[in-house]
Copies of this chain bind each other. A is one copy, B any other.
Amino acid sequence: MSSLPILIVGSMAFDDLELPTGSFKDVVGGSATYGAYAATSFAPVRLVAVVGDDFPAAELSSLGARGADAAGVERAKGKTFRWAGRYSQNLSSRETLDTQLNVFADFSPKIPAEFQDSPLVLLGNIHPALQVRVLDQVSRPKLVVADTMNFWIEGEPAALAAMMKRVDLLVINEEEVRQLSGEHNIARAAAGVLKMGPKQLIVKRGEYGALLFDASGAFFAPAYPLEDVVDPTGAGDSFAGGLLGYLAEKGDVSPLALRKAIMVASACASFCVEAVGPARLAGLRRDEIATRLDAFRKLQDFGGGPLPLR
């Protein structure tokens, strides 16, 4: 059985990163880039984004070699979207130093005809009205997954509300879940968000792992306690890409498949942070992911068998 194709719509960017290990300029980034690098370990990707005339063709070739079809990547006149950020010494927080939208300012995703039947759709973090516009151009996907951020939660509540009614699975971080729901307690906050439209919610908690809430209840996946975290940029996007990748490979979006996919997604995110930018993901091999999944299982292995008190 061959993997289902995944439509990924999001940003492609240059990032200037100030990390504890040094300053790095012009690092290729963006939600679609990280998502596509992670997803292509499992399934073909159909990429929709916009880049400027300064974006390296080699990067699109590298993505293409992994199975990402860049037919939907528009090359516009002008400069590629650029983000600059500084991480704290312990990588637990970051501040945005500069954002230059450039060609991204006028981005309106156009889904090529041959991408419109995509069974799985990943809406990276862009304006929620644009996320809806993507959904207007595709026919009955099996699963629509979306990310968003505090900027849209604060500034575009109506567009966000409309978007949420049309997605199956929302994948956002813990602070965003709290902000969106107005609740601090994470179980209550999740219940609040699920009333807004999505049937499933994944709460990303960085080094504390991820929680899924759906009709089957809650599910928890840990983050691997890595000794060498270099660059957290793109970890959330590679989580989403790995998640969709696994579901696409299995052709299964059931609650149980989703639980397995979260383990795979956590593994992808754990590789992402090992190098600056998407470098680690760009060369990631299947056997490396399988080995890390073994480590994840060991992290939760209490010997199986009956429960301690049964």
Contact = CB atoms under 8 A, between A and B. Distances in A.
B260 A308 contact: yes
Interface stretch (A30-38, A138-146, A232-240, A294-302): A294-302
Contacts of A77: none
A21 interface: no
A299 B218 contact: yes
Given A260-B308, A263-B308, A299-B218, A226 B187 contact: yes
A270 to B, nearest CB: 12
A186 interface: yes
Given A289-B309, A308-B293, A302 B186 contact: no
A90 interface: yes
B299 A219 contact: yes
A200 to B, nearest CB: 15
B303 A256 contact: yes
A51 interface: no
A263 B309 CA distance: 11
Contacts of A25: none
A13 to B, nearest CB: 27
Interface residues of A, number: 50
Interface stretch (A153-161, A165-173, A204-212): A204-212
Contacts of A91: 184
A185 interface: yes
Contacts of A256: 302-303
11 contacts: A91-B184, A187-B227, A205-B208, A209-B222, A218-B225, A219-B301, A219-B302, A256-B303, A259-B303, A260-B303, A290-B307
Interface of A: 89-92, 184-188, 190-191, 205, 207-209, 211, 217-220, 222, 225-227, 229, 246, 256, 259-264, 286, 289-290, 293-294, 297-304, 307-310
